[in-house]
C-alpha cells in the first residue's frame, strides 16, 4: 500500500487529522498509566499475609461491667472454645493481620543507637504462631518459659524491674533482612527502648494489622506476652468456620453473659475489608479505561464517516480508474493505522510525563517500559475496529459516482 498519497490527503485535512492524533495520544497516555495503576492495586490486593487465610475466625468481646480476674476468665473462654469439635487452635490476641488496629514499636539493634531503625508491629499472645499458621523457617518456636503476663510487663514498666519483661522474640524474615542485611539474625537482639529481646526464631511472613508503607508491610515481631483482652482467634477447617463461629459465640455467652460481641468474622472478611478501597479504585480505573476507549472509538467512527462522505467523489474516481474495493478498504485502514501510530508515539511521551507528575504528587513508582505496548496495542485495535465500518461503506461506493454531478 502506498503511504505517500495518504499523507498528501491528510495534509489537506490538517485540523481533523490533528484532532484524531491528539485524541489517540491522550487516550493512550491515560490508559498506559491507568493499566499500571490497576496492576499495582491488584498486586496490593493479593499481598501475602503469611497466615492460614481460610481457616481463621476472629471474635472480639467487651465486658460491660468492671473487669475482674480477667486472666482466669480468658482461660475459661479458651478452654470452652478448644472443646468445640473442629477447632484446631485458639489464641487470645491483641491484634490480627490486616485487622487495622495495631501495636507498633520502634526497633533498634543496639540500645545506644540515637534513632530506631524501623517501626515494627508487635504481636502478643500465647499460641499465636500456631493459631495464625505462620511458618517458622529458622530457629525455634516460643516456649512456655519465654512468656510473661501483660500485668507483669506493666508492673515492670512502672517499677523499672527488667526481670518482668520477656527476653525473646520471633521476627519475620523481611524484618530480619532489613535489620541485619548480611548476617544471620538468629541469636542477635532487638531492642524496644532499652529492653533487649533475643531473636530465637524467624517467620517466613506475618503481615501487619495496619500498613502505612507497603515496603514495610511485613515488619512484625511476636513477643511472648500472655494476654486476656477478650479477643480470640480460632483456627478450624475452612468448611467448619460458620458452624464453629456460631457454637463459639454461644459458649462465650454462657461463660459470661455480661459482655458485648464487638466483632465476629472470618479472616477472609478481614482481608476483604482491608482492601475494599483498592478494589473499588481498581473497578473505577477499569471503568474509565473502557469509557475512554469507547469514546475514542466513537470519535473515530464519527470522523471516519465524515471523511468517507467528503471523499465520495475521490473514491468514485479511484474506483473508475481501476482500484478494487479491497484497495479502498485498505486505504482507509492504512490511513487510520498511520494516524494511530503517530498518536501512540505522542501518547508514549505524554504517558511518561503523566507518570512523572504522579510520581512527584502521589509517590507512585516509575512506569515500567512493559506498559507502553499495552496502550499501543489497545489503540491500534480500537482504531482498526472503529474505522472498519466507515471503510466498508467507502468500499461500497460505486465507480459511477465519479461521473455524476460533474
Partner 1 sequence: MFSYYFDLALRSLKRNRVLTALMIVAIALGIGASMTMLTVLHVLTGNPLPGKSQTLFYPQIDPRDMADYEAGEEPPRQVTWIDGMNLLREKRADRQALMTGGAVPVQPTQSALDPFFSDARYTTAEFFPMFDTPFRFGHGWTAADDEARARVVVITNELNNKLYSGKDSTGQTLRMKDTAFRIIGVLGDWRPNPHFYDLNMGDYSGVESVFMPLSTSRDLHLPLNGSRNCWGRGGADEAHFENASCVWLQFWAQINDPAKVAGYRDFLEHYSQEQKTLGRFQRPANVRLPSLMEWLDINKVVPSDVRLQTWLALGFLLVCLVNTVGLMLAKFLRRSGELGVRRALGASRRAVFGQLLMESAVIGLAGGAGGLLLAFVGLWLVRRQPSDYAELAHMDVAMLAATVVAAVVSTLFAGLLPAWRACQITPALQLKSQ
277 binds partner 1 (CB under 8 A): yes
# of chain residues touching partner 1 (CB under 8 A): 54
Contact with partner 1 (CB under 8 A) among 128, 134, 270, 303 = 303
Do 272 and 66 contact (CB within 8 A), yes or no?
no
Q: Minimum distance between the CB of residue 406 and partner 1, rounded to whole angstroms?
A: 11
Query: What H or E segment, with its residue span, contains residue 192?
Result: strand 189-192
Nearest-angstrom CA–CA distance, 393 and 389 = 6
Q: Minimum distance between the CB of residue 33 and partner 1, rounded to whole angstroms?
A: 9
Name the residue nearer to partner 1 (CB basis): 47 or 301. 301
Q: Which of residues 314-373 bind partner 1 (CB under 8 A)?
A: 354, 358, 361-362
Nearest-angstrom CA–CA distance, 206 and 221 = 9
118-124 vs 220-223, strand pairing mode: parallel
From residue 154 to residue 173, the character string flagging contacts with partner 1 as x (rule: CB under 8 A) and all else as - is x--xx-x-------------
Q: Which of residues 227-256 bind partner 1 (CB under 8 A)?
A: none
DSSP per residue over 212-263, as a string? SSGGGTT-EEEE-EE--SSEEEEEE-GGGHHHHHHHHHHHHHHH--SEEEEE
User: Exposure of 355 by Cβ count < 10 A (0-12 exposed, 13-18 middle, 19+ buried)?
Assistant: buried
183 binds partner 1 (CB under 8 A): no
User: Exposure of 262 by Cβ count < 10 A (0-12 exposed, 13-18 middle, 19+ buried)?
Assistant: exposed
Contact with partner 1 (CB under 8 A) among 47, 80, 288, 385 = 288
Contact with partner 1 (CB under 8 A) among 5, 269, 306, 403 = 306
Do 89 and 244 contact (CB within 8 A), yes or no?
no
20 binds partner 1 (CB under 8 A): yes
From residue 29 to residue 58, the character string flagging contacts with partner 1 as x (rule: CB under 8 A) and all else as - is -x---x--x---------------------
Angle of helix 325-362 versus helix 372-395 axis, rounded to 10: 150
Contact with partner 1 (CB under 8 A) among 4, 8, 15, 110 = 15
DSSP state of 196: E
Q: Give CA separation, 350 vs 138, 284, 291, 365, in Å.
A: 49, 22, 19, 16
Contact with partner 1 (CB under 8 A) among 85, 114, 181, 322 = 114
Return residues touching partner 1 (CB under 8 A).
15-16, 19-20, 22-23, 26-27, 30, 34, 37, 62-66, 106, 114-116, 150, 154, 157-158, 160, 193, 260, 262, 273, 276-277, 280-281, 284-285, 288, 291-292, 295-296, 298-299, 301-303, 305-307, 309-310, 354, 358, 361-362
Amino acid at each position: 500500500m502506498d503511504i505517500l498519497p495518504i499523507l498528501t490527503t491528510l495534509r489537506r485535512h490538517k485540523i481533523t487529522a490533528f484532532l484524531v492524533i491528539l485524541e489517540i495520544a491522550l487516550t493512550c497516555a491515560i490508559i498506559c498509566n491507568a493499566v499500571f495503576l490497576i496492576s499495582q492495586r491488584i498486586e496490593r490486593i493479593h499481598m501475602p499475609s503469611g497466615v492460614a487465610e481460610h481457616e481463621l475466625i476472629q471474635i472480639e468481646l467487651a465486658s460491660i461491667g468492671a473487669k475482674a480476674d480477667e486472666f482466669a476468665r480468658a482461660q475459661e473462654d479458651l478452654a470452652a472454645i478448644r472443646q468445640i469439635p473442629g477447632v484446631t487452635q485458639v489464641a487470645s490476641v491483641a491484634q490480627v493481620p490486616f485487622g487495622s488496629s495495631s501495636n507498633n514499636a520502634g526497633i533498634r539493634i543496639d540500645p545506644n543507637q540515637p534513632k530506631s531503625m524501623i517501626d515494627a508491629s508487635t504481636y502478643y499472645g500465647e499460641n499465636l504462631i500456631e493459631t495464625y499458621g505462620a511458618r517458622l523457617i529458622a530457629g525455634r518456636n516460643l516456649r512456655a518459659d519465654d512468656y510473661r503476663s501483660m500485668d507483669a510487663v506493666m508492673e515492670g514498666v512502672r517499677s523499672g524491674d527488667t526481670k518482668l519483661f520477656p527476653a525473646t522474640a520471633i521476627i519475620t524474615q523481611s524484618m530480619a533482612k532489613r535489620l541485619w542485611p548480611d548476617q544471620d539474625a538468629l541469636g542477635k537482639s532487638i531492642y524496644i527502648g532499652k529492653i533487649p529481646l533475643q531473636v530465637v526464631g524467624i517467620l517466613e511472613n506475618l503481615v501487619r494489622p495496619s500498613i502505612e508503607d507497603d515496603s514495610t508491610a511485613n515488619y512484625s515481631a511476636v513477643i511472648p506476652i500472655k494476654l486476656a483482652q477478650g479477643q480470640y482467634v480460632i483456627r478450624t477447617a475452612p468448611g467448619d468456620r460458620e458452624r464453629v463461629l456460631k457454637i463459639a459465640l454461644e459458649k462465650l455467652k454462657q461463660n459470661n453473659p455480661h459482655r458485648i460481641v464487638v466483632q465476629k468474622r472470618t479472616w477472609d472478611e478481614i482481608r476483604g475489608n482491608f482492601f475494599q478501597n483498592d478494589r473499588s479504585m481498581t473497578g473505577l480505573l477499569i471503568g474509565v479505561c473502557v469509557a475512554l476507549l469507547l469514546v475514542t472509538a466513537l470519535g473515530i467512527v464519527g470522523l471516519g464517516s465524515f471523511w468517507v462522505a467528503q471523499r465520495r467523489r475521490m473514491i468514485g474516481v479511484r474506483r473508475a480508474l481501476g482500484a478494487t474495493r479491497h484497495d479502498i478498504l485498505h486505504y482507509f485502514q492504512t490511513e487510520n493505522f498511520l494516524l494511530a501510530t503517530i498518536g501512540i508515539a505522542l501518547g508514549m511521551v505524554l504517558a511518561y510525563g503523566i507518570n512523572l507528575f504522579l510520581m512527584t504528587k502521589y509517590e507512585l513508582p516509575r512506569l515500567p517500559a512493559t506498559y507502553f505496548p499495552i496502550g499501543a496495542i489497545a489503540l491500534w485495535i480500537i482504531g482498526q475496529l472503529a474505522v472498519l465500518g466507515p471503510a466498508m461503506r467507502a468500499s461500497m461506493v460505486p465507480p459511477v459516482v465519479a461521473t455524476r454531478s460533474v
